[in-house]
């Protein structure tokens, strides 16, 4: 099967699982569930679940083994976007071209929907399952909590918010994004491996290094795409970091150097998985997609 078809298949699979994970129970307060579903099923690229599926297969695991971490990481990602959009944070009114959760519902519901998505992620991961031994599940819960929390994504967000309006060095910018965006991307790969039973060893370590490189590439590309979007808005305000006057890779390095950096990161990422030959082809193709994507 070609990679695009396979990615399409994984995307549809995770979409269905996400829908099922929330819509099976009757709710005392339907707006909460609606807000969660609204944010979850609102057309994301599903990059993190795709990384889980591919890493799990790369480590010899099956599709059903990858399901729980794929769903969990997308729920967690979705919570982070809902909270990132809140008035107290980035105060955005649009996400993926549609009203953000607090605009479509209200602020309190959006906060609670984010909280509930975050906790639902860990409920998914820790649910008793015939697919894993207990140490595998514990390893995944630990990896996700570490990547998402105060030593990972939340720390990156706090650092970002506390430096609004201040200049950052390239090193600080890199550290911030490694936490804010990169930690979850690497975690997707790590959980994919753990779901397959790979709890240590060179394959896991290589996936980790690969994840760190493509996480950085993801952010550099995101900044470049923001510039294209901003210049397309004919001077209208945009929600991008660039438009908010936050430091970005292009603002610190310039456009051409960013493009060169992207190519270098992709090359380094390829080198990390090169010892595994064709077994790594799909992961490399996804890395390529991250670097070449147009949205």
DSSP 288: H
For the CB of residue 295, give the shortest distance to ligand GRG in the complex, in Å: 8
Among 15-23, 83-91, 128-136, 252-260, the segment contacting ligand GRG (CB under 6 A) = 83-91
Which member of 21, 39, 65, 80 binds ligand GRG (CB under 6 A)?
80
Of the two residues 19 and 274, which places its CB atom closer to ligand GRG in the complex? 19
List binders of ligand GRG among 18-77 (CB under 6 A).
44-45, 47
Q: Which of 59, 76, 153, 269 binds ligand GRG (CB under 6 A)?
A: 153
The residue from 31, 154, 155, 199 that contacts ligand GRG (CB under 6 A) is 154
* Long-range contacts of 149-155, Cβ-Cβ distance < 8 Å, separation of 24 or more: 151/179, 152/179, 152/183, 152/184, 152/187, 153/80, 153/179, 153/180, 153/181, 153/183, 153/184, 155/179
233: nearest Cα among 97, 104, 101: 97
222 contacts ligand GRG (rule: CB under 6 A) = yes
Within 8 A by CB and 6+ apart from 130, the residues are none
d(CA 112, CA 116) in angstroms, rounded, equals 6
- Answer yes or no whether residue 111 interacts with ligand GRG by CB under 6 A: no
Task: Report helix, strand and coil shares of the chain as percent, to nearest 5.
Answer: 75, 0, 25
Task: Select from 63-71, 152-160, 166-174, 267-275 the region that touches ligand GRG (CB under 6 A).
Answer: 152-160
Contacts to ligand GRG by CB under 6 A: 44-45, 47, 80-81, 83-84, 89, 96, 153-154, 157, 180-181, 219, 222
């Amino acid at each position: 099967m070609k990679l695009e078809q396979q990615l399409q298949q994984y995307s549809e699979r995770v979409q269905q699982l996400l829908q099922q994970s929330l819509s099976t129970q009757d709710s005392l307060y339907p707006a909460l569930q609606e807000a969660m579903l609204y944010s979850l099923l609102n057309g994301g690229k599903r990059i993190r679940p795709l990384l889980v599926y591919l890493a799990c297969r790369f480590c010899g695991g099956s599709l059903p083994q990858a399901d729980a971490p794929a769903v969990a990481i997308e729920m967690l990602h979705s919570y982070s976007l809902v909270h990132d959009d809140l008035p107290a944070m980035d105060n955005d009114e649009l996400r993926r071209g549609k009203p953000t959760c607090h605009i479509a519902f209200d602020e309190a519901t959006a906060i609670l929907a984010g909280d509930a998505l975050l906790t639902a992620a860990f409920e998914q991961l820790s649910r008793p399952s015939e697919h894993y031994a207990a140490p595998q599940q514990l390893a995944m819960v630990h990896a996700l909590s570490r990547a998402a929390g105060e030593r990972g994504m939340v720390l990156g967000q706090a650092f970002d918010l506390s430096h609004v309006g201040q200049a950052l060095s390239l090193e600080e910018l890199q550290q911030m994004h490694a936490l804010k965006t990169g930690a979850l991307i690497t975690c997707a790969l790590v959980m994919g491996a753990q779901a397959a039973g790979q709890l240590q060893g060179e394959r896991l370590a290589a996936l980790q290094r690969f994840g760190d490189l493509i996480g950085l590439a993801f952010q550099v590309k995101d900044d470049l795409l923001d510039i294209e979007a901003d210049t397309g808005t004919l001077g209208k305000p945009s929600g991008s970091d660039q438009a908010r006057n936050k430091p970005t890779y292009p603002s610190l390095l310039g456009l051409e150097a960013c493009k060169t950096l992207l190519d270098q990161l992709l090359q380094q990422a390829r080198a990390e998985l090169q010892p595994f030959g064709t077994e790594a082809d799909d992961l490399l193709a996804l890395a390529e997609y991250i670097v070449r994507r147009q949205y």
